[in-house]
Structure 1
Amino acid sequence: MNQTLLVEIQTEELPPKALVKLGAAFANGIANGLKARDFLEADSVVTPYATPRRLAVSITKVRATSPDKQIREKVLPVSVALDKDGNPSAPLAKKLAALGFPDLQISDLERAQDGKAESFFYTYTAAGSALAGGLQDVLADTVAKLPIPKVMSYQRPDGATVQFVRPVHLLLALHGEQVLPLTLLGLDAGRQTMGHRFLSHGGPITVDHADNYAAVLESEGKVLSGAEARKESIRTQLLEKAGADLVLMPESLLDEVAALVEWPVVYECRFEEEFLAVPQECLILTMQTNQKYFALTDANGKLRSRFLIVSNLATSDPSAIVGGNERVVRPRLSDAKFFFEQDKKKTLESRLPQLANVVYHNKLGTQAERSQRVMRLAGAIAKRLGYDVALAERGAMLAKADLLTDMVGEFPELQGIMGTYYARHDGEHEEVALAASEHYQPRFAGDALPSTNTGLVVALADKLETLVGIWAIGLQPTGEKDPFALRRHALGVMRMLVEKRLPLSISELLLDAAAVFEGQAAFKDPTADVKAFMLDRLRGMLRERGFTPNEVEAVLAQNPDRVDDVVQRLEAVQAFAALPESASLAAANKRITNILKKNEDAMPQDAAIKAELLVEPAESALAAKMQSLESSVDSAFADSDFTGALKTLALMKEEVDAFFNDVMVMAEDLALRNNRLALLSALHGMMNRVADISKLAA
């Protein structure tokens, strides 16, 4: 009979950061194992449960016995099964005995072709197995394969040593209302579990039916068994307590806190207003990272002196809980305040000599040397863009100085952020101050780009120096390994060039970057490879934005050196592809490309179209059409009206089609052939100024 299966391991408190992964692995391992053994229906529903003190899974429509199976077993090749007289051989008798069918006769076997020879087969019905037996194997295998971060050894009351992530107290296994006779980690399965350590009545809780597990655990045990249920309860309570304020609740923190409690209750706490003089990023980080608290801000994003905590206890008088948490957070905030005050006693510039003591890479020198390289590169980029070179160089020079501060030493996540605060305190120009944090942008996919010219230039310089330097010493990404985040740096550079529409040559940028490594012994110029790598990142970025692979290849096939207008070109290609003429012109362009490629060695270098050699009406008409449209295309291209340029070119469809229908390009007369190749070369150049539209051909 199909019923719900429930399996639970009740433990001591599990590691919160591993709980979600452990819970999923436990549920999936059991479900997949039972599915492989044919105990599940196609529409069986798997529900994982994981709390700080249990791993469990509920699966609907689980069979009590797996179905019988028809098995066709190969016995032996006929040449082996029969002796020279055609009688059963000794190997056949031995094989049948090994298969468990010693009394079978030759007449019971099926003789059938098996490849190039014949073999004997036997078909029989294998009875299904009981759930308890199958589950016992599945459970043992699942537990053995759990992604346990660190195994603990402990002794059971009988003296036996057990190894698991945490000590296990109870094993619950129900199929419907029936207890399954399983054993695991020295425990026999039953129908009992334990509720909340403090809020339940303290004794074992009996689960009468697998379907009632979550409800019984919640009502009698004061445990929300589902991680998502606890997470949503926390989220709802946080929003209620926040009132008009905004609560900072990153998903990672919600997940971790949900793994720390079985019955979440949110309380409001406060800290002294004096701590608000410390940069709020420091306070927020220490509350989230060290204490697992939720900070509150006003509508403008300014930190409030009240914060929210999630407790595992519900009480009518939370004063002890609130007071305890307020006492705990105070030293943390005091530390942050102390670090901030101490750091301000030294300017960022005064810290620069210490960068010489920080090794960047043994083949590329110290952070001081790297800062000098980035500074020179930032100045070169600023000059190309017409930005303030002095600000760019100053911003680059100070960008890494905050790495030497106490605050960043305690909280590395604040690098750059603290640099901005300290630079402002030192009286630096606002763009120089912002460059300390903005030069790390974009830190991740979708992150904001630098908002200032100085921040933008320093961000480009920092990433290009990393790309060229690390690549030059042979540490380019391989497979999934990218320890220096070169993929992210390349994507960041391309995003800035494209989204900020910077009129910069990629080749020149990379040459500028390579130049700052002059005299570096281990340096091998990687600029060509790095450019290809960057364009490959751009391909992926553009595809993620909804452009098709063919559209992207059409624009990037010409290996562009500037990408500030790449999106506009892609939009033009999209508009062109929607025209009824596009398919025919793309196919013709592909044909032209192939013809020119095959004849590139035979064509004169200075081949020009000669009107007197346009003897066929179709080629004369095509040349005339090209001439009539040339000024319109040039004008549209000069105005960056790429869509208009391609739409104008689409007007040549009839003449292009007629040319290929009526004109023999590879004429026997060499002069005619070269003239037609020159005509096609001019047409090819005209059609592909925006993009290589041959890439749109199916």
Structure 2
Amino acid sequence: MPDLLIELFSEEIPARMQARAREDLRKLVTDGLVEAGLHYAHAAAFSTPRRLVLALEGLSERSPTLREERKGPSASAPEAAVQGFLRSTGLTLDQLELRDDKKGQVYFAVVEKPGRAAPEIVAEVLERTIRNFPWPKSMRWGAGALRWVRPLHSILCILTTEAGAEVVPLEIEGIVSGNTTEGHRFMAPGRFAVSGFDDYAAKLKAAKVVLDSAEREAIIWHDATQMAFARGLELVEDKGLLAEVAGLVEYPVALMGDIADDFLGLPPEVLQTSMKEHQKFFSVKNPKTGRIEGFVTVANRETADHGATILKGNLKVLSARLSDAKFFWENDLRLVKSEGLEGMGAGLANVTFHNKLGSQAARIERIEALAGEIAPLVGASPDLAVEAARVAKADLRSAMVGEFPELQGLMGSYYARAAGLPEAVANACKGHYSPLGPSDDVPTEPVTVAVALADKIDTLTGFWAIGEMPTGSKDPFALRRAALGVIRLVLNNDLRLNLSELFQKANSGTDAGDLLSFFHDRLKVFLKDQNIRHDVIDACLAMPGNDDLTLLVKRAEALGAVLATEDGANLIAGFKRANNILAQAEAKDGVEYSYGADVKFAEGPEEVALFAALDQAEAAIAPAMAAEDFATAMGAMAALRGPIDAFFTAVQINSDNEIVRRNRLNLLSRIRQICLSVADLTKLEG
């Protein structure tokens, strides 16, 4: 069985597009081959800045011949019906078969679709893939109609067997497929032929091209960390930058340089951000001081002077970039020291947050007020929380954040310290945006928590009040992320908050019930990852206090734990049986059986035992629920499993004695009432 090698060689592919492009190439080609009847054993895709590559092992040599039998009209059918059948099959009348059927003779068509050779199918699939490739952005060049991310220069497409390599014939817009490729643009120019993937990979390596992006990443990381280690320093880890840089070079050569003394006083995050965003440099820090003292750049070639000229040029550009950063930093500090952090943020009155929600300054006033309300609920000083909320977004008007928006909050913490504000205020400036994503740390310092909650709740209630809720997959204002942030802040800090009250305090025009339902939906998604079933959440949502998320989750965890036991699972079956019988009887009799069960009418030990068990459970559950000891309450409920099972085994509910029947139905009502006092078990599935 042959192996297939495809290389699409072009001008430089943007690094951010390469991972998706190689996966698209693999999927489009393999799906097309399989749909056409070919099979393969293994597929691997690769990318460098100038090539997309797909290697398939064990490709079948041709697609199978397909034989299809189709039943047609009867031999006595009208001529029009027969002709229609012939047109649908592409056959002539003499090619049809007459076969006996229950109602007489019937026409049958036997249609054979002959198999096709692999080269024919590969050429067809590859051309379709190239012409319809889903680049985020593409271009045309010259007079051709072909679109590609950058001008496409050559197509390598060969099938290799023990007998040798065969070029798959293909031509697209004047580009004819072949068996040749190019090595490194500078260190190994010129084309060379290959006979298969192993030969291709070996010759590329000799031509100074590292084909596998993961291998390029490993080379960069190893060399850069070793350079830093040799000087007693550490490379700052940045997986995103590592993947991007690996997509910029075909032959990575790490070079290390020093940051000039003039810039060492800049905050390390400023140095790191400036070097990453502007020049794709890795930061190198002193582990003893935390200062960024050096950088690593990755060249795309070896040079006779071992990178000295490259480093010199990079240092010149770096100095200019860091001079700008230093200018921003010093100007911002002067402003803060002369006018304070509030002075820096004064211009936010002229910055619109949303045309229906006012300016950023108006929003800050709302957050201040709400932070003051939340502070005592989270153990924070109201005065500090209000002060922190007042200045938390002031750095949005700083020159540094204007240049590097991703530093908002962080720069605010530096400026707050420079202004002599309390450390809790400085920390809130940095932390109040968190958590931003599922992997982001959750703040725990009370003042930060108060401001973070106020910020997110103001956003949610504001957009809810103006009717800008998320719809389907659209969430332009990141409201789902804000709700999840509130959920994580509440649960991670074990906070007891009445969210409905806070929603009304934040914005009286908000539909608190609708917003709370949105939170409940987000909570189900969040708890799914913690293996808490959505129906368990629904059973607890039906209980009072469902806007207290911590209480809600504790109840759900306890119920989930009980349901995981044999007693718990069987109790649910017993509860549902009791509830169903009771509902049917109430519908039939037109009355509600909700009181009056008396042990004196019990007939038999199992019925007497159930009365005693219900008394015992009620006595245990009521105080446990009042104390929010859900584990004890649900354990007492689960203990009813045995007495309920025994009761149903021994007793007939619909007794001929009407008094006994009513008493037993009221006894079932007690089962329902006691169980529903813990959670709404009717919401549980199964």
Common fold, TM-score beyond 0.5?
yes
The residue type equivalent to 1:28 in the other structure is K
Does structure 1 residue 313 correspond to structure 2 residue 301? yes
Shift in alpha-carbon separation, 1:21–1:575, aligned structure 2, 3 A: closer
Matches within 5 A, 1:221-300: 221-243=207-229, 245-299=233-287
Higher mean alpha-carbon deviation, 676-685 vs 542-551, is at: 676-685
2:193 paired with 1:206: yes
Distance 1:281 1:593, change over 3 A: farther
Q: Is contact 1:66-1:129 (8 Å) kept? A: yes
Distance in 2 between residues matched to 1:15 and 1:527, nearest whole Å: 46
C-alpha spacing 1:657/1:126, structure 2 compared with 1 (3 Å): closer
Distance in 1, matches of 2:492 and 2:645, equals 39
Distance, in Å, in 2 between the alignment partners of 1:671 and 1:568 is 42
**Structure 1 residue 487 corresponds to structure 2 residue 480:** yes
Does structure 2 retain, via aligned residues, the 8 Å contact 1:356–1:368? yes
Return the offset for 1:339: 1.0
Q: Does 1:34 align with 2:33?
A: yes
CA–CA separation in structure 2 for the residues paired with 1:213 and 1:475: 55
The aligned residue for residue 519 of structure 1 is none
- Identify which of 303, 324, 340 aligns with 2:329: 340
Quote the offset at 1:616 in angstroms: 7.0
Give the match for residue 328 of structure 1.
317
Matches within 5 A, 1:656-667: 656-661=644-649
Q: Is the 8 A contact 2:258 2:294 kept in 1?
A: yes
Matched, 1:139 2:138: no
User: What's 1:543 paired with?
Assistant: 528
Aligned alpha-carbon RMSD (Å)? 3.3
Give distance in 2, aligned partners of 1:481 and 1:369. 26
Which of 16, 38, 49 lines up with 1:52 in the alignment? 49
1:286·1:333 contact (CA, 8 Å) conserved in 2?
yes
Q: CA deviation at 1:136?
A: 2.6
Classify 1:172/1:546 alpha carbon distance in 2 versus 1 (closer, same or farther; 3 Å): same
Contact 1:421 1:433 in 2 (8 A): yes
Shift in Å, 1:459: 1.0
Report the more deviating stretch, 256-265 or 665-674.
665-674
Query: What's the offset of the Cα at 1:338?
Result: 1.1
- 2:389 equivalent to 1:396: yes
Task: Give the length in aligned residue pairs.
Answer: 671
Residues 204-241 of structure 1: CA distance to partner in whole angstroms, max 9, x if unpaired? 1221334421111112x211122222222223323323
Q: 1:450 aligns with which of 416, 428, 443?
A: 443
Structure 1 residues 50, 583: CA separation in 2 closer, same or farther (over 3 Å shift)? closer
1:646 to 619, 634, 637: 634
Q: Equivalent residue of 1:564, what SS?
A: helix
- Measure the CA separation in 1 of the matches of 2:287 and 2:275: 20
8 Å contact from structure 1 (residues 438, 451) kept in 2: no
Report the equivalent of 2:154: 170
Q: How far does residue 697 in structure 1 lie from its aligned partner after superposition? A: 6.5
Q: Does 1:526 align with 2:511?
A: yes
SS in 2 for 1:228: helix
Aligned partner of residue 384 in structure 2, secondary structure: helix
Q: Give the Cα separation in 2 of the matches to 1:667 and 1:93.
A: 68
5+ residue gaps, structure 2, are: none
Structure 2 counterpart of 1:409: 402
In the alignment, is residue 584 of structure 1 matched against residue 570 of structure 2? yes
Q: 2:109 maps to what in 1? A: 122
Q: 1:305-345 CA distances to partner (integer Å, 9 max, x unpaired)?
A: 11111111123522112222222212222211111111122
Is 1:154 aligned to 2:141, yes or no? yes
In structure 2, the residue corresponding to 1:164 is in which secondary structure? coil
Aligned to 2:549: 563
Structure 2 CA distance for aligned equivalents of residues 123 and 408 of structure 1: 73
Matches within 5 A, 1:625-640: 625-634=613-622, 636-637=624-625, 640=628
Q: Distance in 1 between matches of 2:645 and 2:86?
A: 78
For 1:386 and 1:7, how far apart are their aligned partners in 2?
63
Distance 1:210 1:579, change over 3 A: closer
1: CA distance between counterparts of 2:293 and 2:685? Answer: 63
Question: Which of 163, 184, 194 does residue 172 from structure 2 map onto?
Answer: 184
* SS of residue in 2 equivalent to 1:466: helix
| Partner SS state of residue 56, structure 1 | strand
- TM-aligned CA deviation for residue 34 of structure 1: 1.9
Asked whether the equivalents of residues 131 and 146 of structure 2 are also in contact (C-alpha less than 8 Å), the reply is no
Deviation at 1:409, TM superposition (A): 1.2
Q: Aligned partners of 1:81, 1:212: CA distance in 2, in Å?
A: 64
Q: Distance in 2 between matches of 1:611 and 1:105?
A: 89
- The answer on whether the counterparts of 2:38 and 2:63 sit within 8 Å (CA) in structure 1 is yes
Aligned pair in 2 of structure 1 residues 63, 632: CA closer, same or farther (>3 Å)?
A: closer
Range moving further from structure 2, 49-58 or 25-34: 25-34
Tell me if structure 2 keeps the 8 A contact 1:359–1:367: yes
Deviation per residue, 1:346-397 (Å, 9 max, x gap): 3221134322211111111111111111111111112444531111111112
Q: Deviations over 1:237-285 (max 9, x none)?
A: 2332332544233332222111110011111111113323222112111
Q: Once the 2 structures are TM-superposed, how far is the Cα of residue 682 of structure 1 from its aligned partner?
A: 4.8
Shift, 1:4, TM fit: 1.2
Aligned to 1:19: 18
Q: Percent identity?
A: 35
Q: Return 452-461 or 226-235, whichever deviates more.
A: 226-235
Q: Distance in 2 between matches of 1:397 and 1:196?
A: 56
Shift of 1:628: 3.7
| Distance of 1:241 and 1:119 partners within structure 2 | 82
Shift of 1:113: 7.3
AA matched with 1:501: D
2:233, 2:46 → 1: CA distance? Answer: 33
Cα distance, 1:386–1:62 mapped onto 2, change above 3 Å: closer
Contact 1:424–1:430 (CA under 8 A) maintained in structure 2: yes
Q: Which one is further off, 549-558 or 428-437?
A: 549-558
* Distance in 2 (alpha carbons) for counterparts of 1:53 and 1:234: 19
Which of 66, 71, 75 is 2:63 aligned to? 66
Q: 1:118 & 1:376 partners in 2: Cα distance?
A: 88
Report if the CA contact (8 A) 2:345-2:395 is conserved.
Answer: no
C-alpha separation between the residues in 1 aligned to 2:547 and 2:70? 65
* 6-15 or 667-676, which deviates more: 667-676
Between the aligned partners of 2:288 and 2:307, the Cα distance in structure 1 is 30
SS at match of 2:550: coil
Write the distance in 2 (CA, Å) between the matches of 1:301 and 1:141: 57
Q: Are residues 1:216 and 2:203 paired? A: yes
Partner of 1:466: 459
Give the residue type in structure 2 aligned to 1:490. A
1:364 to 2:357 alignment: yes
Provide the secondary structure at the position in 2 that maps to 1:277. Answer: coil
Distance 1:387 1:636 in 2: 30
Whether 2:374 is the aligned partner of 1:381: answer yes
CA shift, 1:636, in A, is 4.6
Asked if the contact 1:514/1:527 (under 8 Å) is kept, the reply is no
